[in-house]
């Protein structure tokens, strides 16, 4: 029977969901489940719940817990990574940028928050994959840690292990499309590709009928539009539905969060999408200081198996069954008009124990252009974190579309300086390196500019301007 190592298993929500699904796969009877986290007390509670679930549902599994990552990885066949590093400073990912006017809804995947989450997370993930190279070199890593694109880019460019980055944006968006078109979710046929949190439903059909005309018609209706304003507005202008909620999507584009009137328009209630910089930070602090025990009173009953891809991938690997999902991998010609080496989200087929990414061809030009605004930041961010280069870290944040819409370069640099200083205990790769704050250049009154050559094309304009001055 296979060994499944779950790294970051102290994450109750993720771990319980995965166990809920895995304990319903008949082909995994007798599986070895090794749960690893730095916090033993959390692991004990999750193990106790899992053992209750096994007993209640007549499932055989050898469940062990450990705080030793290497012990968990030894001879593993599958590794599920959900680690999150620096929970005690996570609120600063939103609080500091908010001082500079950068209002992030969640701040875990792109923007200043996403880059600094990568700075804390990527070095530990790379330690994990290098351990895998020695202890379980043939294992498949399913990565759930955000920021997905930067984490996966770092893995793909620094290791040869088998991996896929996992997200549930496809499944949740299918639910939205099903509701907006009154179509059973399980009967929708789709083709989707792009980047994490901004993949595009290129085709959606039901029994051979194209659902896009109906979807486009319905999002013009106020009741539908109100349900997901930012995503509907983006689709109205660019033509396709994509895989992230209005709250998240509003962070990745420059049009929705840069002014108070836009926040009020697109987040008409006091939801976390509108006021996240304050509300999420305060809530996050409370939860980190006083974690809620979600398992104490649960008797081990299982919910219906979810459509989360994880258990279905492992089942297909173990049984030889065919399964198709969307995963995050390094682009090697899979999407022709996105950069080679970028992290892309494409269809992957599992068959006979092999994962085979599918070639998509080219995205519609406007969709590729939107993806590129995020890819520039993701690739710079991943490189900056791996190299421990504070100047590249600044450059990555400066490429963020929302930050560009709100901050000057000097403000962006000062914001990044503030964030490095506030989180330095979690950023050892930057120890001994500093990002220099640049003083503003004051030009005294009466200063004459240095003579410089004038472009011939501008010379006539200058002469005309002097005539009328």
pLDDT in tens, 227-236: 999 999 999 9
The phi-psi region of residue 333 (left if phi > 0; otherwise alpha if psi is between -120 and 50; otherwise beta) is left
Q: Is the pLDDT of residue 222 over 60?
A: yes
pLDDT at position 11 is: 78
Please report which confidence band the pLDDT of residue 225 belongs to, taking 50, 70 and 90 as the band edges: very high
Q: How many domains does the chain have?
A: 1
Instruction: Calculate what percentage of the chain has a pLDDT beyond 70.
Output: 92
Q: Which residues are catalytic?
A: 168
271: confidence class by pLDDT, cuts 50, 70, 90 = low
Confidence of residue 462 (pLDDT cuts 50, 70, 90): low
Distance in angstroms (rounded) separating the CA atoms of residues 87 and 143: 18
Query: Does the residue 9 lie in any domain?
Result: no
pLDDT the model gives residue 293 = 61
Query: What DSSP string runs through 37-88?
Result: -S-HHHHHHHHHHHHHHHHHTT--EEEEEES-HHHHHTT-SEEEE-----TT
Q: Could you tell me if residue 329 is inside a domain? A: yes
Distance CA 278, CA 271 (A): 11
Backbone region of residue 396 per phi and psi (left: phi > 0; alpha: psi in -120 to 50; beta: other values): alpha
Q: How far apart are CA 231 and CA 225, in angstroms?
A: 9
Q: In terms of pLDDT, which residue wins out, 460 or 284?
A: 460
* Assigned domain for 16 exists: no
Q: What is the pLDDT of residue 451?
A: 86
The pLDDT of residue 291: 47
- Determine, yes or no, domain membership for 385: yes
In a domain? residue 41: no
Q: Per mean pLDDT, which range of 82-91, 153-162, 377-386, 447-456 is the poorest?
A: 447-456
Of the given ranges (49-63, 126-140, 168-182, 296-310), which has the lowest mean pLDDT?
296-310
Give the pLDDT band (50/70/90) at residue 403.
very high
Does residue 277 belong to any structural domain of this protein? Answer: yes
- For the beta carbon of residue 334, count every other beta carbon within 10 angstroms: 20
Please determine, for residue 279, whether its predicted confidence score (pLDDT) is greater than 50. no
The CATH number that applies at residue 336 is 3.90.1820.10
For the chain, give the mean pLDDT: 92
Q: What is the pLDDT of residue 278?
A: 47
Closest CA to 260 of 276, 280, 270, 274: 274
The pLDDT of 280-287, averaged and rounded, is 52
pLDDT given for residue 276 in this prediction: 52
Is 465 inside any structural domain?
no
What's the longest Cα–Cα distance across the chain? 92
Per-residue pLDDT, averaged over 2-13, amounts to: 90
- Any domain includes 330: yes
Q: Which domain holds residue 426?
A: 92-106+168-431
């Amino acid at each position: 029977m296979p060994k499944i190592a779950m790294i970051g298993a102290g994450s109750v929500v993720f771990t319980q969901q995965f166990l809920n699904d895995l304990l319903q796969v008949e082909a995994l009877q007798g599986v070895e489940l090794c749960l690893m986290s730095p916090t033993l007390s959390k692991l004990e509670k999750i193990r106790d719940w899992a053992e209750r679930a096994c007993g209640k549902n007549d499932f055989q599994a050898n469940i062990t817990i450990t705080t030793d990552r290497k012990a968990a990885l030894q001879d593993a066949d599958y590794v599920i990574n959900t680690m999150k590093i620096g929970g005690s400073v996570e609120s600063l990912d939103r609080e500091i940028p908010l001082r500079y006017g950068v209002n992030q809804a969640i701040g875990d995947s792109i923007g200043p928050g996403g880059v600094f989450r990568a700075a804390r997370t990527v070095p530990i993930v790379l330690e994990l994959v290098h351990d895998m190279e020695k202890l379980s070199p043939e294992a498949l890593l399913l990565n759930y840690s955000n920021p997905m694109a930067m984490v996966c880019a770092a893995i793909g460019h620094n290791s040869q292990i088998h991996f896929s980055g996992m997200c549930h944006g496809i499944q949740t968006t299918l639910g939205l499309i099903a509701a907006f078109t009154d179509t059973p979710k399980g009967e929708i046929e789709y083709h989707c590709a792009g980047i994490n949190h901004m993949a595009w439903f290129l085709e959606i059909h039901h029994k051979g009928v194209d659902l896009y005309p109906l979807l486009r018609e319905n999002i013009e209706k106020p009741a539908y539009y109100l349900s997901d304003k930012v995503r509907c507005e983006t689709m109205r202008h660019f033509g396709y539905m994509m895989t992230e909620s209005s709250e998240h999507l509003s962070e990745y584009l420059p049009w929705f969060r840069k002014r108070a009137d836009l926040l009020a328009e697109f987040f008409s209630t006091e939801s976390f999408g509108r006021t996240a910089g304050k509300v999420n930070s305060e809530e996050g602090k409370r939860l980190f200081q006083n974690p809620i025990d979600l398992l104490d009173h649960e008797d081990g009953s299982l919910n219906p198996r979810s459509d989360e891809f994880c258990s279905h991938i492992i089942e297909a690997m173990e049984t030889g069954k065919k399964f198709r999902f969307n995963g995050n991998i390094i682009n090697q010609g899979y999407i022709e008009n996105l950069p080679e080496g970028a992290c892309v989200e494409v269809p992957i087929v599992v068959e006979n124990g092999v994962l085979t990414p599918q070639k998509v061809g080219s995205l519609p030009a406007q969709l590729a252009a939107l993806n590129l605004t995020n890819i520039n930041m993701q690739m710079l961010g991943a490189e900056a974190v791996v190299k421990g280069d504070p100047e590249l870290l600044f450059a990555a944040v400066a490429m963020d579309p929302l930050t560009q819409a709100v901050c000057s370069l000097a403000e962006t640099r000062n914001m990044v300086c503030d964030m490095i200083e506030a989180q330095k205990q979690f950023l050892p790769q930057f120890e001994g390196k500093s990002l220099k704050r640049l003083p503003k250049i004051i030009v005294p009154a009466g200063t004459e500019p240095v003579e410089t050559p004038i472009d011939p094309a501008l010379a006539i304009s200058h002469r005309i301007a002097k005539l009328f001055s």
